[in-house]
Every structure is written in C-alpha cells, then in structure tokens.
C-alpha cells in the first residue's frame, strides 16, 4: 500500500459511528479469558470463539477493523473461509498485532519494554501477503513509586517509532499503543502527568523516525484515577482530563485516536468515550479499539456452549452498537436496558 492508500485506511478505521475490535489476545491472555469462564484454552476453542465474533451479522455497521493475533490471521471459519475473508465480506478491515509482548527492562525494576523488532520486516511482509492492512504494537507504562522513569519512557517510545516506520515501509497503517496502566492508587492528576509525558516522548520519537502521522493512529489509555485510588474521578472529569492531555500532546496530523478499554467496565468505557465526543469537534476523530469492553459480555453469554451462539452474537452486536453510538456522542445509558438489547 502506498501512502495515499494507508491514509485512506487510517481514516476508514475511524469512520463515523465505527471503531475497532481488538481480538488480538495472545495465547496466554486467551487462556486467562477462557479460564475466566471455566474453559481450557485449546486452538480449536480459540478458533470457535473468534468465529462467533467474526460471523456476527451486522457488525460491519459498527466495526471498521479487527486486530488479529498471529494464530488467528491464519485460521478459517468452519465452512473453510479464511477469517480475513470473513471480515472482508462484512466490510471490516483486518489488522495484526505484531509485538511479542513485554520483558523486564534491565536496570529498572518494575518497568518493562516491548520486544519484537528483530525480524519484524520479514514478519510484516508475510502479514501483508495474508491480507493485513494495519498493525498494532503495545507498549506498557506503569505508575508507581518512582515510576515511570525517563529511560523506560524513551525505550518504549523508541521501539514504537521503529515499529511504526517499518509498518509504513511495508504498507501497513501503524496503530501506536502506549498504554499507561490503571493499576495503582495514583490520582487522576498523576495519570494525566504520566500520560502526557508518555505521549510527548512517543511523538518526539515518531517524528525523528520519519513516521507519516497522517497514515497512523494512536491507541492510548483514557486518563483515569488509579484503580485502587480511594478517590475516583467523575465521568466529566475523566473526559475533560483526557481531552486536555491529548490536545497538548497529539499532533493534529494524526487522523484518529482509538482508546483501549484497559480493564474499565464496558459501560464505563462506553460512557467516557461518549462524554468526550459530546465535547464537540477535536483535531482528530475519537473512537475505540476495545478488547475487554467489547468481548467480556460475549464470553459470559457463550461459556463455550454452541447452544449459546446466538446469545453471544447478540451480546457482541449490542456492545458494538453501544460503542458505535459513543463514537458519535449519541450513547444513553438507557440504551443498555435488556429490552433495548433484544434483537
Ligand atoms: P482492552 O480494551 O481490553 O484494554 O484491549 C485492548 C488492547 O488491544 C490491549 O492491547
């Protein structure tokens, strides 16, 4: 893909009313998710579960793209159609997670850096050949005593920039994901400060590495109070703090910002995105790239039983529709009522 097509893909991923499904859980993360509903994680079961998501009728109305994992991008639906094709038939753009997870950063206890740059050029070429149009790399920053340190921010931002440059070279739109974790007792203000420092470092490195921002997307955390903080910021405070930090740090050349849900409840994540979109136009589109906030109710409805397939797909379509509404600032909590979710 050339730059013009990459820019078009980036814009299509943040089209009005639509956002991204992050279904790129690594095999260990999938084992955790399936374990949560009492199931053993086998390749067959992971395939069956993802097939439920990808074959849900009507998802193309609310889902612009799906991030896949290495195993998933090679899998097929029960009728033999490649998952990539199943998604395309719904008008959904296939993407791929290309990082190899985090490893402790030597010399910096409690901090991590994301691996996966070695051999990345070759892997990207292969993902393009199986149909990927965009990529994702996740860096993880934690807040704690003396954390994050400047070297940890720098190492992670540098890796994100090298990944993003390689992705564009291969013709893939890079989703740049620096996640500041919500774990901890910190305040909203501390999260705002760390998120701003992280994003400044990321955009400095992206610029130095000649990444074309118009053909990239940002996937950040929302600015939140620490999950264990006794003081929890209100909906309005979260929306205002998040927009303020983003306006200070994210260049207007970036077409869209797609939030991760990061362990927020599905309704919190949806309501907060909605509140931000009600604040009026911003330099970039504000959308979602939720994993748990789109999938948690699907797993609960399915619990591994084929008889629950329809209920699981209804739960997915409902969450996608709620997120799609939040994407344009037209979500109302009343839309969550059971009668409203019946199809
Ligand atoms: P969550 O929305 O569950 O945080 O997942 C998004 C994601 O892709 C994390 O890398």
Looking at the predicted structure, is the pLDDT value of residue 225 above 70?
yes
CA of 221 to the centre of ligand 1 (A): 9
Copy the structure tokens of residue 202: 């990321």
Confidence class for position 338, pLDDT limits 50, 70, 90 = low
- Kindly report the three-state secondary structure assignment for every residue of the chain: CCHHHHHHHHHHHCCCCCEEEECCCCHHHHHHHHHCCCCCCCHHHHHHHHHHHHCCCCHHHCEEEEEECHHHHCCECCCCCEHHHHHHHCCCEEEEECCCCEEECCCCCCCEEECCCCCHHHHHHHHHHCCCCEEEEEEEECCECCECCHHHHHHHHHHHHHHHHHHHHHCCEEEEEEEECCCCCCCHHHHHHHHHHHHHHHHHHHHHCCCCHHHCEECCCCCCCCCCCCCCCCHHHHHHHHHHHHHHHCCCCCCEEEECCCCCCHHHHHHHHHHHHCCCCCCCEEEEEECHHHHHHHHHHHCCCHHHHHHHHHHHHHHHHHHHHHHCCCCCHHHHCHHHHCC
Mean pLDDT of 99-106: 98
CA of 141 to the centre of ligand 1 (A): 14
Residues in Cβ contact with 35 at an 8 Å cutoff, skipping those fewer than 6 apart: 41
The residue to which tokens 């990944």 are assigned? 163
Q: Which pLDDT belongs to residue 342?
A: 44
Confidence class for position 341, pLDDT limits 50, 70, 90 = very low
Q: Which pLDDT belongs to residue 343?
A: 43
Q: Which pLDDT belongs to residue 1?
A: 79
Backbone dihedral region of 118: left (phi > 0), alpha (psi from -120 to 50 degrees) or beta? beta
Mean pLDDT of 50-68: 98
Mean pLDDT of 41-64: 97
Q: Catalytic residues, which ones?
A: 177, 219
Q: How far apart are CA 209 and CA 290, in angstroms?
A: 28
CA of 162 to the centre of ligand 1 (A): 21
Q: Which pLDDT belongs to residue 337?
A: 79
Asked if 192 and 223 touch (Cβ cutoff 8 Å), the reply is yes
Looking at the predicted structure, is the pLDDT value of residue 190 above 70?
yes
CA of 68 to the centre of ligand 1 (A): 12
Indicate the top mutation candidate among 183, 291, 298, 299 to test ligand 1's pocket, ranked by most ligand atoms within 8 A of CB: 291
Looking at the predicted structure, is the pLDDT value of residue 60 above 50?
yes
Residues in Cβ contact with 226 at an 8 Å cutoff, skipping those fewer than 6 apart: 143, 182, 183, 184, 185, 186, 187, 190, 191
Give the pLDDT confidence of 158-171 residue by residue, as tens digits. 999 999 999 999 99
Looking at the predicted structure, is the pLDDT value of residue 188 above 50?
yes
Confidence class for position 210, pLDDT limits 50, 70, 90 = very high
| CA-177 nearest atom, ligand 1 | 10
- DSSP β-ladder status, 112-114 and 102-104: antiparallel
Task: Supply angle C-alpha 208, 213, 218, rounded to 5.
Answer: 105
Mean pLDDT score of the chain: 96
Confidence class for position 234, pLDDT limits 50, 70, 90 = very high
Mean pLDDT of 117-146: 98
Indicate the top mutation candidate among 290, 296, 319, 320 to test ligand 1's pocket, ranked by most ligand atoms within 8 A of CB: 290
| CA-259 nearest atom, ligand 1 | 2
pTM > 0.95: yes
Looking at the predicted structure, is the pLDDT value of residue 62 above 90?
yes
Kindly report the number of other CB atoms within 10 A of residue 300's CB atom: 14
Confidence class for position 323, pLDDT limits 50, 70, 90 = very high
Q: Which pLDDT belongs to residue 223?
A: 98
């Amino acid at each position: 893909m050339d730059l013009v097509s990459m820019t078009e893909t980036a814009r299509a991923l943040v089209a009005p009313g639509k956002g991204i499904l992050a279904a790129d859980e690594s095999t260990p993360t999938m084992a955790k998710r399936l374990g949560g509903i009492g199931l053993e994680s086998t390749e067959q079961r992971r395939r069956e579960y993802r097939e439920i998501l990808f074959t849900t009728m009507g998802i193309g109305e609310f889902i612009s793209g799906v991030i896949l994992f290495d195993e998933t991008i090679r899998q097929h639906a029960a009728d033999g159609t490649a998952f990539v094709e199943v998604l395309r038939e719904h008008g959904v753009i296939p993407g791929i997670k290309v990082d190899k997870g985090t490893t402790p950063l030597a010399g910096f206890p409690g901090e991590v850096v994301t691996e996966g740059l070695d051999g990345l050029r070759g892997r990207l070429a292969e993902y393009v050949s199986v149909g990927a149009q965009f990529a994702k790399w996740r860096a993880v920053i934690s807040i704690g005593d003396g954390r994050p340190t400047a070297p940890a921010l720098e190492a992670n931002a540098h890796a994100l920039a090298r990944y993003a440059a390689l992705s564009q070279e291969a013709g893939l739109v890079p989703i740049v994901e620096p996640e500041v974790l919500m774990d901890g007792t910190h305040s909203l203000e501390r999260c705002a400060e760390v998120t701003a420092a992280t994003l400044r470092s990321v955009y400095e490195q992206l610029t130095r590495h000649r990444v074309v921002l118009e053909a990239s997307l940002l996937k950040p955390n929302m600015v939140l109070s620490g999950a264990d903080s006794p003081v929890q910021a209100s909906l309005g405070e979260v929306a205002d703090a998040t927009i303020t930090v983003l306006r200070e740090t994210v260049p207007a050349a970036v077409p869209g910002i797609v939030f991760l849900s990061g362990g927020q409840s599905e309704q919190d994540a949806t309501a907060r995105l909605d509140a931000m979109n009600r604040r009026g136009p911003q330099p970039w589109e504000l959308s979602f790239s939720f994993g748990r906030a789109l999938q948690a109710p699907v797993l609960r409805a399915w619990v591994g039983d084929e008889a629950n397939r329809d209920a699981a797909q209804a739960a997915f379509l409902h969450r996608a529709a709620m997120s799609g509404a939040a994407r344009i600032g037209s979500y109302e909590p009343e839309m969550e009522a059971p009668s409203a979710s019946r199809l």
